[in-house]
Amino acid sequence: MPTASLTEYLFISGILFSIGLAGVIIRRNIIVIFMCLELMLAAASLTLVAFSRANEVKGLPDYDGQMFVFFVITVAAAEVAVGLAIIVALYRARQTVNTKDLTSLQG
């Protein structure tokens, strides 16, 4: 049975990343934007794992790529925790999570 090629994996991850980016641009709910960011991170992880599989070192997958993914997941978890805490604090202060209303950084 034919197996999927590296190109296909990369293509899929590229599309996933684009979807995430589209979400960040289109959506206004800051929590959803946050989810889309996670999606983009996941797409990057997929690329890393695909390359780690493709790049064999002495007959085994290159685990350095997977290490990276491991760390990405860890950092992302921490990021989500802090980010959500910030969102909660923001909501407490502003009573909104809509980015249209959050433009105090305007120059």
Partner 1 sequence: MHPSLLLILPLVSAVVIHFFLQQKRASIAALVGTLVTAATLGLSLMLLGSENSTTLFNWIQVGDFKIDIGLKLDQLSTGMMIVVSGIGLLVHVFSLGYMKDDEAKARYFGNLSLFMFSMTGIVLASNFIMMFIFWELVGLSSYLLIGHWYQKDSAADAAKKAFLSNRVGDFGFLIGILMIWGISGSVVFDEMSLTAGTPFLAAAVLLVFCGAIGKSAQLPLHVWLPDAMEGPTPVSALIHAATMVAAGVYMMARFFYSVGIDVIPECSAMTIAWIGGITSLFAALMATQQDDIKKILAYSTLSQLGYMVMAVGLVDPNAGMFHLYTHAWFKALLFLGSGAVIYACHHEQNIWKMGGLLKKMPVTGWTFIIGTLCLTAVPGTSGFFSKEGILHAAHDKSHFLFGIAVVVAALTTFYMFRLIFIAFLGKAKNKHAEHAKEVPLIMGVPLILLAVMALFSPFLGSLIPAVDGFHPHIGIEMNLVTGCSIGAFILGLAGAIVLYKEKESDPLAGNAVMKVFRNKFYFDEFYAKLIKVFQDLVAAVVHFLDEFVINGLVVGGLTRLAQGTGNIFRAKMQTGSLQNYAFLFGAGIILVIYLTVFL
Partner 2 sequence: MPTPLFYLFAVIMLAGGIGIVAMRNPVASAFSMIVSFIGLAALFVGLNAYFVGILQILVYTGAVMVLFLFIIMLLDLKKEEDRETKTPTLLAGIIIPLLLVLQLVAVFQTSDLGDFKPITKDSLIAAEAQLPNDIPADSQIRKELKQGSLPDVNLIGQKLFTEYNFPLQVIGILLLVATVGCVSLSKKLIPKA
List interacting residues with partner 1 (CB under 8 A): 21, 24-26, 28, 30, 33, 99-100, 102-107
The C-alpha atoms of residue 13 and residue 88 are separated, in whole angstroms, by 31
15 binds partner 2 (CB under 8 A): yes
Residue 44, binding choice from partner 2, partner 1, none, Cβ under 5 to 8 Å by partner class = none
From the list partner 1, partner 2, none, partner contacted by residue 107 (C-beta under 5 to 8 A by kind): partner 1
Q: What does the alpha-carbon distance between residue 61 and residue 52 come to, in Å, rounded to a whole number?
A: 6
Whether 94 and 101 have beta carbons less than 8 Å apart is answered as yes
